[in-house]
Chains A and B, each alone.
Chain A
Amino acid sequence: MEEPEIKEGEWVILKGDEIIAHDFDPKKIREILDERNDPELVISRELSSSSCFY
């Protein structure tokens, strides 16, 4: 099955450059981090080219 496309603003869990999971809901991201318990997991965010930086 094809991986759903990552949308702008989604939180993305990475291990190196491998995408482990992505979701808009921080609670789901936290659950996955806790389940995996892997210190090498990093949270990134799918940036928009038109992002407004404060």
Chain B
Amino acid sequence: MRTEFRFPYRPKPSDRGKPGKHTLYPLVPIQLYTSGSRCTSFEALLDSGADNVLIPKGSAELINLQMGKKIGMESASETTECYEASVGLIIGQVTGDRFDLGRVDARVPMSDTGKVPPLLGRHPFFQHFEITFQQYEPRPSYTIRLKDPTLKRF
């Protein structure tokens, strides 16, 4: 059974297929779900500096995510207000191997100043997978290795 998956860093959507040098990002294929909703596929940014899963307000609206208690969240430079939430998280593409992490704790910032996609922080992703970043030319990539054999796979 395959336990290691390598993904290339990807440019932002408008740069794809265009010649030239572009900024590349470690984007992870995920699906998010809530109770009573279908899975919605996103590209999340793998962010080893973030503690948790962060769902931007727009993504939360897209999947009709119920927000919980309002709390403060420390970022590198400031404290921002966000909501606690619980969201179903699947790692992988619809057409490939997928791993269901079940419902995970997430944060939904009240403002959208960063204009980021969903962020995949360390908890709980790094507890189930070993992650290696290979950010060197010519093909920057990251590798995830399954460390939790009990994780639901399909």
A and B bound? yes
Identify which of B106-114, B129-137, B143-151 touches chain A.
Answer: B106-114
Q: Tell me the minimal C-beta distance from A41 to chain B in angstroms.
A: 7
Range of interface residues on chain B? 35 or more
Contacts of A24 in B (CB 8 A): 58
Give the residue name and chain of the A residue nearest to B64 (CB).
A30
Given contacts A45-B117, A54-B54, contact A9 B112 (CB under 8 A): yes
* A residues with CB within 8 A of B: 5-6, 8-9, 11-12, 14, 17, 19, 22, 24, 26-27, 29-30, 33, 39-49, 51-54
Give me the interface of B with A, judged by CB distance under 8 Å.
Answer: 12-14, 16-17, 23, 25, 27, 29, 40-43, 45, 47, 49-50, 54, 56, 58-59, 61-62, 73, 75-77, 80, 94-95, 109, 112-117, 119
